[in-house]
Amino acid sequence: MTLLSIILAIFLPPLGVALKYGLSGKFWINLLLTLIGWIPGVIHAFIVLSRSR
């Protein structure tokens, strides 16, 4: 994970996921989790971004 992806995962989780995976299912799941609550979106973003492709 780069510094930029860490910062985006904290402040704008869907954008961080979208930059790595595009508008795939991972993005939409993260967007839904972020809309439900910010913390679930951040946790999901860190899990998704920490895994290698």
User: In this predicted structure, what is the pLDDT of residue 44?
Assistant: 95
How many structural domains does the chain have?
A: 1
Q: What angle do CA 5, 3, 22 make, to 5 degrees?
A: 20
Q: Give the pLDDT of the chain (53 residues) as one tens digit per residue.
A: 789 989 999 999 999 999 999 999 999 999 999 999 999 999 999 999 998 66
Cα distance between residue 11 and residue 25, in whole Å? 20
User: In this predicted structure, what is the pLDDT of residue 2?
Assistant: 86
Range of the domain at 28: 3-50
pTM for this prediction: 0.88
